[in-house]
Amino acid sequence: MDSSRIQDWKQLRSRFPVFQKKTYLNSCSYGALANEVEDSLQRYLDARNDKGADWEYWVGRNEAVRSSVARLIGAEPDEVAITASVSAGINSLASALSFDGPRNKVVITDFEFPTNAQIWYAQELRGARVVRLAEEGGRIPLEKFEEAVDEETLIVATAQVAFRHGAKQDIPAIAEIARRKGALMMVDSYQALGTMPFDVKKAGVDFAVGGMLKYLLGTAGIAFLYARQDLIESLAPTATGWFAQEDIMAMDITRYAPSSTARRFEAGTPPVPNTYMAEAGLAILHEVGLEAIERRIGELTTAIKDAATEAGYSLASPVDPAHHAAMISLRSSDDNRLVAGLAEDNIVVSCRNDNLRISPHFYNNEADIEHLFRALHRRRDLLV
Ligand SMILES: Cc1ncc(COP(=O)(O)O)c(C=O)c1O
């Protein structure tokens, strides 16, 4: 990525029609739809009408997404499985782990999105023991990982960025603890990807998951699992399907022969329409550049924190920019009412657990934030 790239943010914003109607600050939930992502779906529909079934081209789109994700996270395409959801990727990974040996402990935290807790708790039916580290003042102290990860730990599975308030974890430091204690490390990067550079090799993680709906500008129903090359062949997922086999077209009904690549974590027919949209969304991120995006989001989150502090609103996110990502959350006494009220002013935001989540992307600007805060000041009784 070219860190010196100067972007024309106004021109980029004009490619997202939603801004003609809404003040859209909800990328932690759903990314805004770009013209080229919309067009890509039409291309899929046109291809079906023009050609009928174009299987080769469809499979090619899935491979294009695989390569694009690999480029985004600094991996090889063979280390990336394209899945229908983050949940599907974690389930496939969990199904390949054995909890019968001396290592059966799974370490998670209070920062997890429910799916990355529920799936590991489900493994308790297979002998796993889940330990959840408690949040303390908006952080999970590294010492907690140091204490909890031990010779009985099989895997540490934790979020890079918390979905409730945007707090960011030090993933390389957590991965180092896991490695030192002989445990595996999986990061759920869904709330981070697309907002900052992230290199799985530099971070030292064994597995990473993320999806295309939010800051990656694609759509729902498509996600990925990264698995470190040296580990792939030692893992045999029992959650599987024909697209996970070494030779998909062998149509072999006599045995299980998983692919030698991360494709072994896949299952059935790829989410074809979604691959078109994901490919188009990822292309925008590569075009703009992750360093430039991170800088722009940094300017916008600073503006949000400054406006909140000036008004005396209570931040649920860490103030230090080193400890939060693209989402800034404000504490609310009735977050659902606040989101509904802001919607009446054409402002799209979301909430979780008494927090109003404000999540800009590179396409937002200072005027969006001013508009939001004017509306918040009118509803200050719902803020604490
Ligand atoms: C951090 C995080 N992980 C996982 C998910 C869910 O992923 P999926 O619905 O693709 O399983 C979300 C949000 O939808 C999320 O924010």
Check: CB of residue 126 under 8 Å from CB of residue 134: no
Q: Using a 6 Å cutoff on CB, does residue 186 contact ligand 1?
A: no
Could you identify the atom of ligand 1 that is nearest to the CA of residue 160?
1
| Nearest-CA residue for atom 6 of ligand 1 | 86
Higher-confidence position of 127 and 52: 127
Q: Using a 6 Å cutoff on CB, does residue 85 contact ligand 1?
A: yes
pLDDT tens by residue, 328-374: 999 999 999 999 999 999 999 999 989 999 999 999 999 999 999 99
Average pLDDT of 37-53?
Answer: 93
CA 252 to centroid of ligand 1, rounded, Å: 33
pLDDT at residue 1 tops 60: no
Binned at pLDDT 50, 70 and 90, residue 216 comes out as very high
Check: CB of residue 133 under 8 Å from CB of residue 145: yes
Average pLDDT of 153-172?
Answer: 98
Could you identify the atom of ligand 1 that is nearest to the CA of residue 163?
16
pLDDT at 292: 96
Average pLDDT of 99-117?
Answer: 98
pLDDT at residue 53 tops 90: no
Average pLDDT of 123-143?
Answer: 97
CA 308 to centroid of ligand 1, rounded, Å: 27
> Hey, which of 163, 195, 207, 355 would you mutate to test ligand 1's pocket, going by the most ligand atoms within 8 Å of its Cβ?
163
Q: Using a 6 Å cutoff on CB, does residue 91 contact ligand 1?
A: no
Beta-bridge partner residues of 132 = 108
CA 234 to CA 63: how far, in whole Å?
23
Provide, rounded to the nearest whole percent, the portion of the chain with pLDDT above 90.
95
Could you identify the atom of ligand 1 that is nearest to the CA of residue 89?
11
pLDDT averaged over every residue in the chain: 96
Q: Using a 6 Å cutoff on CB, does residue 157 contact ligand 1?
A: no
pLDDT at residue 303 tops 80: yes
pLDDT at 5: 62
Q: Using a 6 Å cutoff on CB, does residue 149 contact ligand 1?
A: no
pLDDT at 2: 47
For 210-272, the DSSP string reads: EESSSTT-S-SS-EEEEE-HHHHTT---SS--GGGBSSGGG---S---B-SSGGGG--SS--H
pLDDT at residue 4 tops 60: no
Binned at pLDDT 50, 70 and 90, residue 7 comes out as confident
> Hey, which of 82, 90, 190 would you mutate to test ligand 1's pocket, going by the most ligand atoms within 8 Å of its Cβ?
190
